[in-house]
A and B are shown apart, each in its own frame.
Chain A
Amino acid sequence: MKLMSAINLEFVVAKEDFSKAGEASSSIKKTLKKLGIDSKIIRKVAIVTYEAEMNIVIHSIGGKIMVDIDTEKIKIQAIDQGPGIEDTEKAMEVGFSTATQKVRELGFGAGMGLPNIKKNSDNFEISSEINKYTKIESLIYVNP
């Protein structure tokens, strides 16, 4: 990969907007492709951003996704404005989901989102405060 200065992307994600859901992730993926990042790394970033984006759409009252790309790493931050997660440890369990039946019928709510994000991150952190925010931070190294 050619040397480049850091690139910062930011996307606003609206709650329950399923018609636009996935657009931030698609846009991030296109940028990474243009930068010539390895396809295996792009796949990891795509999974992380997609799951984070869908979490904001399904569970939050709205939020944003920020991606910082430099020559060594890709940092993905997803922050929403609440309602927050009561038990983040429980939320990390495979199969645990608070998604509604309606959302599940569309194929969401498998309880795989956060585990998928963690699995594809080289470093992963989640923090949340009730009625305030949930924040996830995922770090993926460009040359693992």
Chain B
Amino acid sequence: MKVKDLLKEENFRIIAGEEGIEKELQGVYIGDLLSWVMAHLQENEAWITIQSHVNVIAVGVLNDAACILLAEGASLDEDAKKKANEENLAVIETNLTAYELAVKVNKLMKENE
């Protein structure tokens, strides 16, 4: 499936990096400790986190994440939005918990197989 397929869900609001929605999405990684994420997030995975500062975009870009999914109403600061737009990395805001988000993405991946 593609990142844009997530946006059909009403709870998913794209807040930056709109140009990146054509990317392939092939899995999910959840984590808020950046060094762990750096070591384990794989290419084309959606990264679920509550971290919302500019360095999160760098970690997402360096790991070729499909997109960043912000859980539990976390939002991006302006620096981070600007960077996500520059790097074409889609950032999507939701009110769901990390668990609910992962379950939802898994369901969507199966439907879009």
Chain B residue at minimal CB-CB distance from A111: B35
Rounded to whole angstroms, the CA-CA distance of A23 and B37 in the bound complex is 17
The count of residues in chain B whose C-beta lies closer than 8 Å to any C-beta of chain A is 23
Rounded to whole angstroms, the CA-CA distance of A106 and B33 in the bound complex is 8
Rounded to whole angstroms, the CA-CA distance of A15 and B77 in the bound complex is 21
Rounded to whole angstroms, the CA-CA distance of A23 and B82 in the bound complex is 14
Rounded to whole angstroms, the CA-CA distance of A25 and B87 in the bound complex is 14
B62, A116: Cβ atoms closer than 8 Å: no
A106, B38: Cβ atoms closer than 8 Å: no
Partner pick for A22 among B33, B35, B51, B59, CB 8 A cutoff: B59
The count of residues in chain A whose C-beta lies closer than 8 Å to any C-beta of chain B is 24
Chain B residue at minimal CB-CB distance from A104: B33
Rounded to whole angstroms, the CA-CA distance of A39 and B43 in the bound complex is 10
Interface centre among B33, B35, B36, B63 (most CB of A within 10 A): B35
Interface positions of B (Cβ within 8 A of A): 32-39, 43, 49, 51, 53-59, 61-63, 79, 87
